Amino acid sequence: AQFQDFMVVVLLMATAISYGMGETADAITIVVIVVLNAVLGFVQEYRAERSLEALKELAAPTARVIRDGREVTVSARDLVPGDLLLVEPGDRIPADARLVEAPGLEVEESALTGESLPVRKSASWVGDPDVPLGDRRNMLYMGTTVTRGRGRALVVATGMQTEMGRIAHLIQEVGEEETPLQRRLAQLGRWLVAGCLIVCAIVVAAGLLREERLTGPVISQLFMAGVSLAVAAIPEGLPAIVTVSLALGVQRMIRRNAIVRRLQSVETLGCATVICSDKTGTLTKNEMMVRAAWVGGRSYTVTGDGYRPSGEFLREGRPVSPQQEPDLAQALKSAALCSNAKLVQAQPARRGRGDGAAGGRSGRSHRPGMVQVVFSVQGDPTEGALVVAAQKGGYRPAVLQDRYRRVLEVPFESERRRMSVITEDGDGGYLLHVKGAPDVILELSTHMLRDGRIVPLTDQDRQAILDENLRMADQALRVLAVAYRPLSFAAGEGPDQLAELSTDEAAARLERNLVFLGLLGMIDPPRPEVKQAVAAARRAGIRTVMITGDHPATALAVARELGIVGAEGRAVTGRELDQLSHSELIAAVEECQVFARVSPQHKLQIVRALKELGEVVAMTGDGVNDAPAVKEADIGIAMGRTGTDVTKEASAMILADDNYATIVAAVEEGRGIYDNIRKFIRYLLSCNTGEVLTMFLAAVMRLPLPLLPIQILFVNLVTDGLPAIALGIDPPEPDVMRRPPRRPDEGVFARRLGIKILGRGTLIGLGTLTAFLVAFFTLPGTPGVAPLDDPAVLNPARTMALATLVCAQLIHVFDCRSERRAIWETPLSSNPWLVAAVASSVTALLLAIYWPPLAAIFETAPLQAWQWLVVLLLASAGELLVAIRRLILFGRPVRLRAHVEEEA
C-alpha cells in the first residue's frame, strides 16, 4: 500500500527513465527515498485488527454445566445451545443463556449495555419481543459478570451468535475510510503530477519542434530536461515529511496521554465537529458514590471522588462530623454492616504513566506528581458506595466488623427488595440492620431515629420521607433506605435457630417494627474535569452528544450537570429511534444532545446519521457495546484504563488516563498538526515552484540545465527536508482553539495558500535563474570549448544557482511559520529545532560545494566571495519584497490585522 501513492508511482517512472539513460546515481537516490518513505509509513501505521481475538479473551475459559444429570466443568468453547449453565458470584458468563432459576441473582452488564449498576435478574418470562437489551431481565449475556446470587440458565447462543458476537460482526462490517488529510494529499499529488506532465510535454514538444535534426544527444538532453522537470515539480520528501510530522505529533500526544493507533487520524481530530460520548466510565467515573443523605429530618451533602474514602459531610453548606451526629452515625454504620462489598487499596502507582488498563472498578488519587493510591470495590458497586461513605464518616469497615460480628444474613432478593443482617456486639447484644427500597423499608418501620432518640414514626414523617425520596429520584440518584432494630431473643431462640428457617420465615420474624434511619442517594458521578472540557469543546465549535444505554432520567441529570444540555433538554430513547423514519432520525440527531437506552445498532445509526449531515464525528467509548460505533466514527477514541480490548482494537486513539479533557488536548494537537502540514506544504511547494520555473524558463531560453536532477533531489530531500520536518513540530498558535472547526472538504490551497505559494515560488525561481545567468555570462570559460558544454562555466554557474535556491528557501522557511504574523513577530526561541535544521541544511550545502567527494557527485565548484554576495542578495530579495509590501499595505500592526482578518 505504501507504494500505491500517485506521486511515488511517478517518481518510480522517473527512476526507470534515469536508469535507462545511464543516470544511475539519480535512479538510486530516488529509490532510496521511496523505500525510506515506505518503511516509515509501514512502521508508524502498523496495527493489527484483533477485534475477534479480543472478543475471545472476554469469554470465560471454563463453565459449569449440568450434563446427564451431573455437574461437570467444560471449556467455554465446548458449550452448545441446550446446556444447563450454573453461575455464581464472580463468574464471567460464557454464553448467552435464558434463566430458569435466579434467586437473588444480579449481573454487571456495563460493558455491554452501559448500565452503571448491576442488573437484577429473574426467571420470569419477558413477553415483549422489542424490549431493549438492558431490560431483558431473564437473559444472561456472554462477557458479563455475576455480582450476587446464584442461577441456572439454558444456553441459547454461543460464539458469534451471541450479542457480543453480533457486535464483533458489526465491527467487521464497518470499513476503513480515508481521512480528510489522506484525501487532500491524494488530490494534491494528482494536481502536481498532472501539472508536471503538462510542463514536461510542453518543454519536450517545444524542443522537438525547435531542433532541425533529432540526434541522439539532442533527444537525450530533451529527456533529461523532462526528468529534471519531473523531479523538480514533485516534492519527493512530502510523503515522508507528512509521515514524520504526524509521528512527531503522535509523540507529543502521548505525552498528553492520548495514544494514537492510526497515524493519519491525528489530523482528523482537528476538524471534528461532534464528539459522541458514552456516559458510563467516560463522562462519569463508573464508580457509585453516596452524594446525598436524609437522616433524622436533616439533609446532608457528601463530597468526594468515587471510591476514594475521603470527603466531607455538609449540612446547610457547613462541614459536620458524622460521629457528632448520632442519627447520621447510626445510618452509616448500619448501611456498611448490611453490605458485602469490600474496599480494596491496590498497589500504589506513579500518576501519569497511563500505560495500561486498570481492571475492575477503581478510584484514584488526583494529586499531580504524587504517588497515586488506587481504590477498588470487590462486590456490588452500590454496597461499595455505602462502605466508602461509612469510611468517610470515620467508620472503617474492618473495625466495624470486629466490633459488630455478623451472625446471620437474610439475603437480598428482587421480590423482597431488601437485605437484612444481624450483628452481635461485644456485650452480647444483637442488632438487626436492614437496607432496601425506600417504600418497602418505610412500610416495615414504626419508629425513626431523631436526635439520637427512637421516636414514633408519624404520618407527617412518612410524607416527608416520601417527598425526599421523590426529590432525590428527580436528581437521578439511586435511593436506598436504611433501618435497624435492637433484638432480644427468648430462651431457646437465637441466630442459629433463625438460620434454619427459610428466607421468608426468617424475614417475617425479624423485619418488623423497624427504626427508620434515613435515605442515602447514590450516583455514578461525573468526572470532575469533564465539565470544563465540554465548555472548551463548545468554544472550539465542537458539539458534545451523550449516547448511553442508561436510563433517560440519569442520562439527562448527568448531561445537565456537565453543561451538555440546558434545563429544557430532553433525551431520545432507543425505542423512540426505532419508530422514526430516516428523515425524522436525521432531524432528531441534528437537534438532540442526549440519547438513552440505546443498543449498539442505535449507536451506529446515530453516528452514521451525523456523518450524513456532514459532521466529522469523534466517538468515545469504553465498553464492548461502543466498539462498532467507535470504529464507524471518523475517529474512534477508547478509554485506556477502563476500556475493553474489543473497543481498543476498534479505535484509532486511546486515552491513557481515561480523561475526557484529554480529548480537547488531542483536538488542539490535531489542529496544530494540520496548521504545521500547511506550513511545510507552503514551504516545499514554493521551493518546487521556483525549481520548475527555473528549469522551464531555461528550456524556453535554450539554456543548459541550471540544475541537474541530482542537485534538485539534493535540495528537495536534504536541504528542504530537515527544515520542513522542523516546521512540523512548531507549537500550536495561541488562538488555535478559538477557531471554528475546518470543513472536512477544505482544499489544500484554501485561504489563499495557492497564491502565496505561486508568488514566493516565482520570486525564488527568478532569483535562482538570475544567479545562473550572472555566472554563465561572466565567468571565463575553457578556450576552444563551447560554454554550453564547458564544465568550467557550467559547474560554477549551477553551483551559484544551487546556493541561491537553498538560501532563498532557508530564508523563506521562517516566513512559513505563521499565516497570520510577519517573520519578525514569531520568536525563534519557540522552535529551536528549526534553527538547528536550518544550520544543518547550510552545513550540508557547504559540504556539497567544498568537500571533494560530494562535489564530484553533485558536480559543484567552490564559490568566491563576490559570488556568495550575489547569492545572498538574490536569495533575500524575495523576503525583502514581501516585507516592503506588508509595510506599504498594512503598516506595522500586523498582529492587529491578523486578528481582524480572523474575526471576519
DSSP 248-269: HHHHHHHHTTEEESSTTHHHHH
**Looking at the domain that runs over 53-168, which CATH code has it been given?**
2.70.150.10
| Residue-level pLDDT at 161 | 84
Q: How many Cα atoms occupy the beta-carbon half-sphere of 452 within 13 Å?
A: 5
Question: By mean pLDDT, which of 30-39, 258-267, 325-334, 540-549 is the weakest?
Answer: 30-39
pLDDT of 268 higher than 60? yes
pLDDT of 202 higher than 90? no
CATH fold of 289-523: Calcium-transporting ATPase, cytoplasmic domain N (3.40.1110)
pLDDT of 589 higher than 60? yes
What amino acid positions are annotated as catalytic residues? 278
Listed in sequence order, the DSSP H helices in 752-893 are 753-778, 791-815, 832-850, 852-858, 865-890
- The CATH number of 258-284+527-658, from 3.40.50.2300, 3.40.50.261, 3.40.50.1000, 1.10.540.10, is 3.40.50.1000
How crowded is residue 828: how many other Cβ atoms within 10 Å of its Cβ? 11
Q: Are 302 and 293 in contact (CB under 8 A)?
A: yes
> What's 308's DSSP letter?
B
Quick: pLDDT tens for 208-237: 666 656 555 666 666 666 666 666 566 656
Average pLDDT on 607-635 reads 85
Q: Are 731 and 830 in contact (CB under 8 A)?
A: yes
Burial 353-373 (b: 16+ CB within 10 A, else e): ebeebeeebbbbbeeeeeebb
Quick: pLDDT tens for 303-315: 988 888 999 999 9
Listed in sequence order, the DSSP H helices in 701-790 are 709-714, 721-727, 753-778
Quick: pLDDT tens for 404-415: 989 888 888 767
Q: Are 107 and 119 in contact (CB under 8 A)?
A: yes
pLDDT of 625 higher than 80? no
| Residue-level pLDDT at 331 | 96
| Residue-level pLDDT at 15 | 66
Residue 65 to residue 153: CA distance in whole angstroms: 9
pLDDT band at 798 (very low <50, low <70, confident <90, very high): very high
Q: Are 264 and 181 in contact (CB under 8 A)?
A: yes
Residue 445 to residue 86: CA distance in whole angstroms: 37
Quick: pLDDT tens for 686-744: 988 898 888 888 877 878 888 887 788 788 777 777 888 888 888 888 778 888 888 87
| Residue-level pLDDT at 228 | 62
pLDDT of 622 higher than 90? no
| Residue-level pLDDT at 60 | 38
pLDDT of 672 higher than 70? yes
Q: Are 288 and 384 in contact (CB under 8 A)?
A: yes
To 10 degrees, the CA torsion angle through 285, 288, 292, 297? 180
Average pLDDT on 572-582 reads 92
Kindly state the percentage of the chain with pLDDT values over 70.
77
Residue 765 to residue 877: CA distance in whole angstroms: 12
698-to-542, 703, 725, 768 alpha-carbon distances in Å: 51, 5, 31, 11
Tell how far CA 170 is from the center of its chain. Answer: 20
Query: Which helix H or strand E contains 74, and what residues bound it?
Result: strand 70-75
3-class SS string, 445-510: EEEEEECCEEEECCHHHHHHHHHHHHHHHHCCCEEEEEEEEEECCCCCCCHHHHHCCCHHHHHHHH
pLDDT band at 895 (very low <50, low <70, confident <90, very high): very low
Beta-strand runs (E) in 62-168: 62-67, 70-75, 84-87, 96-101, 106-108, 119-120, 139-140, 145-148, 151-157
> What's 522's DSSP letter?
E
| Residue-level pLDDT at 392 | 94
CA nearest 63: which of 74, 49, 52, 53?
Answer: 74
Structure-block grid coordinates of residue 678 = 500547511
Q: List every span in the chain annotated with CATH 3.40.50.1000.
A: 258-284+527-658
Structure-block grid coordinates of residue 59 = 469469554
Q: Are 332 and 390 in contact (CB under 8 A)?
A: yes
Average pLDDT on 19-43 reads 63
Quick: pLDDT tens for 746-772: 777 788 888 889 999 999 999 999 999
Kindly state the percentage of the chain with pLDDT values over 90.
30
Q: List every span in the chain annotated with CATH 3.40.1110.10.
A: 289-523
Helices (H) and strands (E) in the chain, counts: 32, 33
Q: List every span in the chain annotated with CATH 1.20.1110.10.
A: 177-257+669-733+745-903
pLDDT of 903 higher than 60? no
Mean pLDDT of the chain: 80
Phi, psi of 194 (to 5 degrees): -60, -45
Positive or negative CA dihedral for 450, 455, 461, 466? positive
Q: Are 155 and 79 in contact (CB under 8 A)?
A: yes
Residue 431 to residue 482: CA distance in whole angstroms: 13
| Residue-level pLDDT at 183 | 66
| Residue-level pLDDT at 501 | 72
| Residue-level pLDDT at 838 | 94
3-class SS string, 547-598: ECCCCHHHHHHHHHHHCCCCCCCCEEEHHHHHCCCHHHHHHHHHHCCEEECC
CA nearest 562: which of 539, 528, 603?
Answer: 528
C-alpha R_g of the chain: 36
Question: By mean pLDDT, which of 63-72, 515-524, 596-605, 616-625 is the weakest?
Answer: 616-625
Q: Are 404 and 431 in contact (CB under 8 A)?
A: yes
Average pLDDT on 866-892 reads 81
Q: Are 212 and 175 in contact (CB under 8 A)?
A: no
Quick: pLDDT tens for 135-168: 788 899 988 888 778 899 999 998 888 887 777 6
pLDDT of 902 higher than 50? no
Average pLDDT on 600-606 reads 87
Place of cell 514554493: 686
Average pLDDT on 552-563 reads 89
Average pLDDT on 341-361 reads 52
Q: Which residue has the higher pLDDT, 112 or 575?
A: 575
CA nearest 629: which of 549, 691, 558, 685?
Answer: 549
Residue 642 to residue 467: CA distance in whole angstroms: 37
CA nearest 528: which of 286, 305, 258?
Answer: 305
Residue 277 bridge partners (DSSP):
546, 620
Q: List every span in the chain annotated with CATH 2.70.150.10.
A: 53-168
**Looking at the domain that runs over 177-257+669-733+745-903, which CATH code has it been given?**
1.20.1110.10
Question: By mean pLDDT, which of 41-55, 699-713, 810-824 is the weakest?
Answer: 41-55
> What's 660's DSSP letter?
T
Structure-block grid coordinates of residue 155 = 444456553
- At CA 614, angle to CA 612 and CA 616, rounded to 5? 105
Question: By mean pLDDT, which of 47-61, 65-79, 544-558, 653-667 is the weakest?
Answer: 47-61
